[in-house]
């Protein structure tokens, strides 16, 4: 069982920063209730120095494995266009990224261009740890509406833009194996759409011998039903996680309870028991080019768009299709857009003007930002990139479903307490999965805790 973190602990996370960097005052008026895509009505362009001094910029990121050559390619082409700038690629494990950024900022030696999770934007902005990019955007003609609304809004806080997105926050898809569908008597051209259809199909896809799973019919996002699965079911049942202004927890609604019950009922129907599922999972490959869907010991899964690239690398002959994740009888399939990866410029960066050149390259330049996504068959946060015929030509079997998912994404507001609220809800879901709380009790407990976190966090924002 996970230990519950206190609200005070969350609000004291600023300890890694200097004392002056904690939840700073932002003026006399109350915080706006919602960020806006047009972050400011008038933004003064940033004045840049005319001289070009040789610099080396560090880019801290988690793009390992088969993405390393893509990153190096982009950096090389960037230096060809900006010969006074060299780029050092700093690759870190995903679990260490945030702490390394926080520690380096507190120590006065931040990376020049760090990879920022958009859910972290309120925290960094409140501690005045990132440079607002709106002046640079005005200077170089980087338009807010070049991005999908949900993508750019997740990079904004209190009317200013603190990072640019380089990955689409909408990534949730149904991956399914065509031969497995046919073997189970299912139509691969007509995948299940509603919750009930989905559960029935998933059970049919199961292969169990002597009480052991030989082929799993469906896998929730990386295992037991978690926050991703719940959010997808919630928004596909006309529910909301937060109010539009991000100040009220709303996931404990009737829609939320129905979504949670469906997740848990389907888990029991497909997995049988947690022990049976974990016995199967213990002998599967990692979540990369050796994952069980690629190895064909998993018939279908809730996956991210990046797995199209993994399949291309690990098993290019795999016969599979993409569909939308299911919805309730009264809902419509939606992908929850909770924020994704972006790049920003820390306060204290040695050469912020040059850092901006690299941020723009990685997040706005079609031949770099767009190309990086296209090579992986992943959607871009930039609208124009997704309209390029490249996707249809190179990924004809998967791109139509991906584009449909992106265009039906629903934004979940990012709040100053989002990270801790997510932990609380995740704990509640785990307790339901293991049977230590009933669904309604778990949602009510999580909502009470979440609302207290929201109230206390917002009270610090002025």
Burial of 453 from C-beta contacts in 10 A (0-12 / 13-18 / 19+): buried
Indicate if the pLDDT at residue 39 is higher than 60: no
Q: Rounded distance, CA 148 to CA 406, Å? A: 9
Indicate if the pLDDT at residue 163 is higher than 60: yes
Q: Which helix (H) or strand (E) holds 77?
A: helix 68-81
Q: How many CB atoms lie within 10 A of CB 42?
A: 6
Q: What is the DSSP string of 129-189?
A: -B---HHHHHHHT--GGGB-HHHHHTTEETTEE--EE-S-S--EEEEEEHHHHHHTT--TT
> Quick one: what percent of the chain has pLDDT higher than 70?
89
Q: pLDDT tens-digit profile of 5-21?
A: 333 333 333 333 333 33
Q: Which helix (H) or strand (E) holds 443?
A: helix 439-459
50-167+339-400 CATH: 3.40.190.10
Q: pLDDT tens-digit profile of 246-277?
A: 999 999 999 999 999 999 999 999 999 999 99
What is the layout of strands, in order, in the sheet containing 300-304? Answer: 300-304, 172-177, 320-323
- pLDDT at residue 348 in the model: 94
Indicate if the pLDDT at residue 81 is higher than 80: yes
Burial of 274 from C-beta contacts in 10 A (0-12 / 13-18 / 19+): middle
pLDDT class of 170 with cuts at 50, 70, 90 = confident
pLDDT class of 51 with cuts at 50, 70, 90 = low
- Average of per-residue pLDDT values in the chain: 89
Q: Give the Å distances, CA to CA, from 245 to 32, 356, 426.
A: 8, 30, 22
Q: Which of 48-57, 209-218, 436-445 has the lowest mean pLDDT?
A: 48-57
Q: Which helix (H) or strand (E) holds 405?
A: helix 399-407
CATH superfamily for domain 172-334+416-459: Periplasmic binding protein-like II (3.40.190.10)
CB 321 within 8 A of CB 174: no
Q: Average pLDDT in the 403-415 region?
A: 92
Helices (H) and strands (E) in the chain — how many of each?
20, 14
Residues of the chain with CATH 3.40.190.10: 50-167+339-400, 172-334+416-459
3-state secondary structure of 86: strand
Q: How many CB atoms lie within 10 A of CB 53?
A: 9
Is the torsion defined by CA of 432, 435, 439, 443 positive or negative?
negative
Indicate if the pLDDT at residue 291 is higher than 80: yes
pTM recorded for the entire structure? 0.81
- pLDDT at residue 18 in the model: 32
């Amino acid at each position: 069982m996970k230990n519950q973190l206190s609200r005070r602990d969350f609000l004291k996370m600023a300890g890694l920063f200097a004392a002056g960097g904690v939840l700073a005052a932002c003026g006399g008026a109350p915080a706006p209730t919602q960020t806006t895509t047009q972050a400011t009505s008038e933004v003064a362009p940033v004045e840049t120095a005319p001289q070009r001094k040789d610099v080396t910029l560090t880019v801290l990121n988690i793009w390992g494995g088969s993405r390393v050559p893509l990153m190096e390619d982009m950096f090389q082409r960037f230096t060809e266009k900006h010969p006074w700038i060299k780029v050092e690629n700093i690759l870190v494990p995903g679990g260490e990224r945030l702490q390394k950024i926080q520690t380096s900022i507190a120590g006065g030696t931040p990376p020049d261009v760090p990879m920022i999770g958009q859910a972290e934007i309120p925290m960094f902005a409140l501690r005045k740890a990132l440079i607002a990019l709106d002046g640079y955007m005005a200077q170089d003609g980087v338009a807010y509406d070049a991005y999908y609304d949900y993508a750019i809004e997740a990079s904004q806080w209190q009317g200013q833009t603190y990072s640019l997105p380089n990955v689409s926050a909408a990534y949730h898809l149904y991956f399914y194996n065509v031969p497995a569908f046919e073997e189970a008597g299912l139509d691969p051209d007509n995948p299940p759409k509603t919750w009930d259809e989905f559960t029935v199909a998933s059970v049919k896809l199961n292969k169990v011998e002597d009480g052991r799973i030989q082929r799993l019919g469906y896998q929730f996002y990386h295992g037991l039903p978690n926050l991703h699965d719940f959010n997808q079911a919630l928004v596909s049942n006309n529910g909301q996680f937060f109010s539009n202004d991000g100040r009220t927890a709303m996931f404990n609604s009737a829609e939320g309870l129905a979504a949670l019950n469906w997740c848990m009922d389907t888990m029991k129907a497909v997995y049988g028991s947690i022990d049976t599922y974990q016995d199967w999972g213990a002998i599967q490959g990692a979540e990369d080019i050796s994952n069980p869907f690629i190895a064909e010991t998993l018939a279908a899964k809730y996956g991210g768009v990046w797995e199209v690239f993994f399949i291309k690398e690990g098993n290019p002959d795999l016969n599979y299709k993409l569909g939308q994740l299911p919805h309730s009888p009264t809902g419509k399939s939606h992908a929850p857009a909770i924020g994704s990866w972006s790049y920003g410029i820390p306060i204290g960066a040695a050469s912020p003007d040059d850092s901006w050149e690299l941020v723009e390259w990685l997040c706005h330049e079609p031949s770099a930002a767009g190309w990086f996504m296209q090579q992986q068959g992943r959607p871009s946060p930039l609208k124009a990139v997704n309209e390029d015929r490249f996707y249809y030509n190179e990924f004809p079997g998967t791109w139509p479903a991906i584009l449909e998912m992106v265009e039906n994404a629903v934004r979940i507001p990012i709040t100053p307490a989002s990270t801790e609220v997510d932990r609380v809800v995740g704990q509640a879901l785990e307790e339901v999965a293991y049977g230590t709380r009933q669904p309604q009790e778990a949602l009510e407990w999580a909502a009470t805790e979440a609302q207290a976190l929201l109230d206390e966090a917002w009270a610090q924002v002025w």
